[in-house]
């Protein structure tokens, strides 16, 4: 009897063990929540529901007019929106990765104006020039002088990638935006007749499998990453912008951000355009929804919850 361990809760050994257990659980829960939920204070579902109308009304060819931000750089009298390159080799190479048509150019603009540091691109975006009056400045992709480098894939020359912001938009809107960009001239949408063609159907089906595959690969290849859902960015631009700046280790300059916001919403909203037809057949919906499910499962393995993108175009 004497050497039997006393298991009454009052025993100091048991209390000690209990306390230690509670301490461990807290540690574990804390770690899981910081890994699994990048964004614990907001539910993507709520954001999607609230932002749905806006998003559905948003210009479907977002990203098409790379120069669409032109009007936004007008400098306000009291606002200093100057930008600079950082010394060569001083910045990590962080990609701003997305499937085409996902709002990449807009994010590039937000980051550049809020931080005062130029961004780069693997593309020669419309509006790119060699002086401060240009919308975007040309730079060498591997020079490590910019805050981020816009890209649509990981095939970025032969330079070491240090991390990425992976921007994800629902494939219905992204595919439509990209099709419009590819099949129209600079300013207009693809003609309605184009959506009756086999070409559109084939494009959408191929693009949707690219969408899930590419984002899946990016998750796998880039451990230092931040996932940004386009729909959340539309819903709460300020919050998501701060989250990006934190990821990029940039101290937010609230004055710059305020100046940016004086025009950012207005200009963005001006791009909204209603589209009164749904170009997706139920067969296409099914294919795209299955790609969404595929990516949903992959993302779950990495601890992310994909917003409710299924049948996105039918939620109207
Ligand atoms: C935003 O920019 C436009 C075009 O540059 C300008 O006309 C407008 O006054 C600005 N809006 C605000 C609220 O300052
Ligand atoms: C899909 O990806 C392949 C390989 O990267 C590319 O050649 C093709 O153009 C893409 N198609 C669409 C519609 O995105
Ligand atoms: C797919 O979209 C079409 C066109 O809007 C719609 O009529 C149909 O109900 C959708 N199908 C599914 C399975 O959601």
Q: What is the pLDDT along the chain (316 residues), one digit of tens a residue?
A: 444 444 454 555 656 555 555 555 654 545 444 443 334 334 333 333 333 334 333 443 343 333 333 334 444 457 777 899 999 999 999 999 999 999 998 899 899 999 999 999 998 877 788 887 778 888 888 999 999 999 999 988 788 999 999 999 999 999 998 998 888 754 467 788 888 889 999 999 999 999 999 999 999 999 999 999 999 999 999 999 999 999 999 999 999 999 898 877 534 443 444 556 789 998 999 999 999 999 999 999 999 999 999 867 654 3
Nearest CA to ligand 2 atom 14: 207
Distances (CA, A) of 82 to 114, 141, 248, 251: 10, 21, 19, 16
Predicted model pTM = 0.74
In this structure, the residues whose C-beta lies within 6 A of any atom of ligand 3 are: 278, 280, 282, 285-286, 311, 313-314
| Sign of the four-CA dihedral 172, 245, 146, 118 | positive
Which listed ligand is nearest to 69 at the C-alpha? 1
Q: Which two tokens stand for residue 99?
A: 């499937």
CA separation for the pair 150, 221 (Å, rounded): 17
Q: How far is ligand 1, taken at its centre, from the CA of residue 117, in Å? A: 22
Q: Would you state the pLDDT for residue 71?
A: 35
Residue 272 to residue 145: CA distance in whole angstroms: 34
Determine the residue of 73, 74, 268 to mutate for testing ligand 1's pocket, defined as the one with the most ligand atoms within 8 A of the Cβ atom. Answer: 74
Per 3-state DSSP, the chain is made up of helix, strand and coil in percentages (nearest 5) of: 50, 10, 40
Going from the C-alpha of 249 to that of each of 66, 147, 191, 252, the distances in angstroms are 27, 10, 44, 9
* Helix/strand/coil for 215: helix
CA 79-95-154 angle, to 5 degrees, is 155
For 271, half-sphere exposure in the C-beta direction (CA atoms, 13 angstrom radius) is 28
Between CA 220 and CA 59 the distance in angstroms is: 31
Q: How far is the CA of 62 from the centre of ligand 1 (A)?
A: 20
Domains in the chain: ranges and CATH: 50-313 (3.40.50)
- Where does 29-141 show beta strands of DSSP type E? 94-98, 120-121, 128-129, 136-137
Residue listed under structure tokens 């070409």: 199
Atom of ligand 1 nearest to the CA of 74: 5
**What is residue 23's predicted lDDT score, i.e. its pLDDT?**
56
Distance 174 CA to ligand 1 centre (A): 28
d(CA 18, ligand 2 centre) in Å: 56
Tokens 């184009």, residue? 194
Query: Could you count the other beta carbons within 10 Å of the beta carbon of residue 78?
Result: 9
From residue 214, alpha-carbon distances to 83, 261, 269, 295 in Å are 32, 32, 29, 10
* Token pair belonging to 244: 């990006």
Half-sphere exposure of 204 (CA within 13 A, CB side): 26
Burial (Cβ within 10 Å: 0-12, 13-18, ≥19) of residue 236: middle
How much is the pLDDT for 126? 75
How far is it, in rounded angstroms, from Cα 190 to Cα 184?
5
* Token representation of residue 138: 């040309």
């Amino acid at each position: 009897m004497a050497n039997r361990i006393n298991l009454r809760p009052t025993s100091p050994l048991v209390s000690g063990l209990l306390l230690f257990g509670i301490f461990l659980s807290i540690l574990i829960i804390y770690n899981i929540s910081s890994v699994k939920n990048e964004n614990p204070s907001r539910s993507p579902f709520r954001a999607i529901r609230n932002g749905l109308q806006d998003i559905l009304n948003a210009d479907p060819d977002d990203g098409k007019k790379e120069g669409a931000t032109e009007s936004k750089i007008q400098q306000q009298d009291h606002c200093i929106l100057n930008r600079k390159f950082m010394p060569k080799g001083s910045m990590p190479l962080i990609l701003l990765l997305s499937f085409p048509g996902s709002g990449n150019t807009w994010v590039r603009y937000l980051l550049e104006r809020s931080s005062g540091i130029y961004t780069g691109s693997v593309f020669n975006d419309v509006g790119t020039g060699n002086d401060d009056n240009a919308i975007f400045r040309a730079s060498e992709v591997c020079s490590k002088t910019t805050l981020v480098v816009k890209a649509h894939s990981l095939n970025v020359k032969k330079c070491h990638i240090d991390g990425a912001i992976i921007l994800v938009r629902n494939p219905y809107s992204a595919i439509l935006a990209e099709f419009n960009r590819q099949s129209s001239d600079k300013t207009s949408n693809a003609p309605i007749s184009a959506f009756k063609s086999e070409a559109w159907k084939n494009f959408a089906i191929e693009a949707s499998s690219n969408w899930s595959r590419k984002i899946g690969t990016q998750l796998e290849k880039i451990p230092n990453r931040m996932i940004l859902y386009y729909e959340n960015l539309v819903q709460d631009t300020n919050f998501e912008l701060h989250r990006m700046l934190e990821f990029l280790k940039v101290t937010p300059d609230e004055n710059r951000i305020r100046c940016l916001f004086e025009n950012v919403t207005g200009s963005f909203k001006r791009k909204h355009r209603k589209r009164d037809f749904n170009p997706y057949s139920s067969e296409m919906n099914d294919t795209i929804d299955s790609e969404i499910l595929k990516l949903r499962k992959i993302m779950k393995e990495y601890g992310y919850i994909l917003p409710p993108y299924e049948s996105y175009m039918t939620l109207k």
